[in-house]
Amino acid sequence: MNRLTADQARQLAARVVALTQADAAETLVISADDSLTRFADNRIHQNVTETDTRVSVRAVLGNRQGVASTNRLDDESLAGCCADAVAAASAAPADPEFPGLPSPVPVQTPVRAAEAAAGFGPEQRAEVALGIVRQCSSRLIQAAGGVASTLQTVAIGNSLGVDVGMETTSVRATVLAQSDRGGSGWASFFGPDPAGLVADALGDEAATLAQRSEYPADLEPGSYTVVLAPEAVADIVDFLGYLGFSARSFEEGRSFLSGNLEKRIMSELVTISDNACAPESFGLVFDYEGMPKRRVPLIENGVATSVVTDSYWAARTGRENTGHALPAPNAFGPMTLDLMMGAGDSTLDEIIGSVERGVYVTRFHYVNAEDPVPVTLTGMTRDGTFLIEDGALATPLKNQRFTQGAVAALNAVKGVTSERAFFDVMLGSALVPGLLIDGWEFTGQTG
């Protein structure tokens, strides 16, 4: 069974909508080829591929809803899935706040499926892994990481006429380089195709950082000026989206934006939007109800400006539907999946050069939230943490634990890099710069 084209997926969605004996129905089709080559200890140890097509049906009876899904695509199974959705809706109590399925809105779907990604097979992934491993093994450094490709087709149809479909591709590569002298380095690539993926350069970046970070030293816990490389910033921005940018958390008083719209809550250097339609994006341009994803300014020069919605939370709050629905049934509310933080005008090197004493962080590890409203996060640094002295990276440091409010940290931003990079994060992707932040709280270090 092959991955469906956008037209095939739209036709399947329409067929399943027609099969559903309900007042209204919506079908989501996700068809994907996912492949991944993993390496560790300078050898490939895992190499997998998967093809699957999943159909999810939302049946509506009056203002009651039920959802069922299957990956069996024969007529009998699809009919059974539709019947399960209808049975679920029949059992549900009436929901007076359900606004009904959304009506169609025109969606312009750009071509975001790269042919080069489709030809990126196991031999090509192995070649990338080999290039990375050579850079590391020649320096007696152990390489680990992965080379992955995703070819995905998503289509949504509903009985009111929504009929959208789109193919996307992505390629991801990661490199962890580790020396037996305590050095650890990291490099990553995330893009729509393998065109920008240069294995030797990626391996060299990680291996050089690993060599540079050998024999790490202790750091006293305390408040430090930090320079966060873009990948570290991606984790922070990701949690802002998870905890605060949704109309649901806003309305329930659980967001740092609750009661703060039109107020300055972050540094004026901070501008954040959600924008799936930006030319550099390579994801879906419609949400999981088939509504166009709109660019939503969330923080503009430090001022809280807006939240994202889906059809339910738009109707409930009287806001515009910004096109941020997750697949039904959605217990989380609308979510940002394409966050972008504005760039500054200084290079990363210039920002490091401006710091008399501070800490440079390549990336974070295992970040989690301890307090939702201030977005208090804890996590560890990883794969290249350095003391900054007199404007240059100095002593490598052991991995540090931080316990820090993200909103407070973004209110203490003193510099933003001109370089930005895409990362795949917990919620979709994020395009972020590096940041210079005052008063970052390190609360411990690894043993």
Nearer to another protein, 177 or 339 (CB): 177
Touching another protein, residues 281-320 (CB under 8 A): none
Total interface residues for another protein by CB under 8 A: 92
| Of 142, 168, 98, the residue nearest 337 (C-alpha) | 168
Q: In this chain, which stretch among 52-60, 152-160, 231-239, 270-278 interacts with another protein, using CB under 8 A?
A: 52-60
Q: Least distance to another protein from the beta carbon of 396, Å?
A: 15
Rg (CA), the chain: 23
Nearer to another protein, 159 or 376 (CB): 376
Q: State which H helix or E strand residue 134 sits in.
A: helix 122-137
Q: Least distance to another protein from the beta carbon of 108, Å?
A: 31
Nearer to another protein, 124 or 158 (CB): 124
Give yes or no for residue 109 binding another protein (CB under 8 A): no
Nearer to another protein, 301 or 443 (CB): 443
* Peptide linkage before 329 cis (omega within 30 of 0): yes
Q: In this chain, which stretch among 174-182, 264-272, 284-292, 386-394 interacts with another protein, using CB under 8 A?
A: 174-182
Site string for another protein, 402-421 (x = CB under 8 A): -xx-----------------
| Of 146, 148, 144, 147, the residue nearest 210 (C-alpha) | 144
Touching another protein, residues 57-96 (CB under 8 A): 65-73, 81, 84-85, 87-89, 91-93, 95
- Buried b vs exposed e over 204-217: b needs ≥16 C-beta within 10 Å? bbbbbbbbebeebe
Whether the CB-CB separation of 84 and 271 falls below 8 Å is answered with no
Give yes or no for residue 168 binding another protein (CB under 8 A): no
Give yes or no for residue 111 binding another protein (CB under 8 A): no
Touching another protein, residues 231-260 (CB under 8 A): 252-254, 258-259
Nearer to another protein, 65 or 281 (CB): 65
* C-alpha 8, offset from chain centre: 27
Give yes or no for residue 373 binding another protein (CB under 8 A): yes
Q: Which residue among 225, 376, 385, 417 contacts another protein (CB under 8 A)? A: 376
Whether the CB-CB separation of 57 and 68 falls below 8 Å is answered with yes
Q: Which residue among 203, 379, 396, 434 contacts another protein (CB under 8 A)? A: 379
Q: Which residue among 330, 354, 395, 418 contacts another protein (CB under 8 A)? A: 330
Q: In this chain, which stretch among 262-270, 353-361, 395-403, 411-419 interacts with another protein, using CB under 8 A?
A: 395-403
Q: Which residue among 9, 16, 25, 53 contacts another protein (CB under 8 A)? A: 53
Nearer to another protein, 309 or 404 (CB): 404
Q: Least distance to another protein from the beta carbon of 277, Å?
A: 28
* Pairing relationship of beta strands 338-341 and 303-304 according to DSSP bridges: unpaired
* Pairing relationship of beta strands 376-389 and 392-396 according to DSSP bridges: antiparallel
Touching another protein, residues 185-204 (CB under 8 A): none
Nearer to another protein, 120 or 422 (CB): 120
What token pair was written down for 214? Answer: 């050998």
Nearer to another protein, 316 or 319 (CB): 316
Q: Which residue among 9, 113, 114, 125 contacts another protein (CB under 8 A)? A: 125
Angle between helical axes of 199-212 and 122-137 (0-180°, round to 10): 30
Q: In this chain, which stretch among 53-61, 104-112, 233-241, 342-350 interacts with another protein, using CB under 8 A?
A: 53-61
Q: Least distance to another protein from the beta carbon of 89, Å?
A: 8
Touching another protein, residues 25-44 (CB under 8 A): 34, 36-44
Give yes or no for residue 108 binding another protein (CB under 8 A): no
Q: Least distance to another protein from the beta carbon of 385, Å?
A: 12
Give yes or no for residue 52 binding another protein (CB under 8 A): yes
Angle at alpha carbon of residue 233, lines to 272 and 389, rounded to 5°:
125
Q: Least distance to another protein from the beta carbon of 390, Å?
A: 29
Q: Least distance to another protein from the beta carbon of 402, Å?
A: 8
